[in-house]
Amino acid sequence: GGAAMAAVRDVEIDPEGTFKYILVRLQRPGGGERRDVVRGTAAAEFHNHIFEKVNPEMQKLGYECECLGGGKIDHNSKDKKMRVFGLSTGYGKADHSVTVEILKKVYTDYEITWSDDKK
């Protein structure tokens, strides 16, 4: 139960660059525990490519996945800064403030900001 969910990382994103990201809600079927995770990579040309990779992985662990929206992350590892912005055409805009809170759990020494800017 809890161990499997603990094994799922809050954040899996590229170490550098600007790339698409999605906010994904994981939930045990029938309610119970649920949490939101951030996934992003420059390898994904479209937001749904990220979801198509995450979804089967999480289903194997027994979770239902829902994409809560997307955007972009600009990750500057040298200056320890991240900027969350933009939106997903397919999934709509994620709540970037929620995304920032999740990112801060992992990147504790970063300056992380968000905006509704498109770029």
Is 96 labeled as catalytic in the residue annotation? Answer: no
48 vs 35: CA distance, rounded Å: 20
Question: Among candidates 33, 47, 38, 32, which has minimal Cα distance to 10?
Answer: 38
Alpha helices in the chain (DSSP H): 2-7, 47-60, 96-106
The residue assigned the tokens 């990382």 is 9
Known binding residue 20? Answer is yes
The active-site residue, picked from 47, 49, 75, 96, is 47
Binding site for substrate: residue ranges? 20
Binding-site positions: 20
- Could you list the active site residues? 47
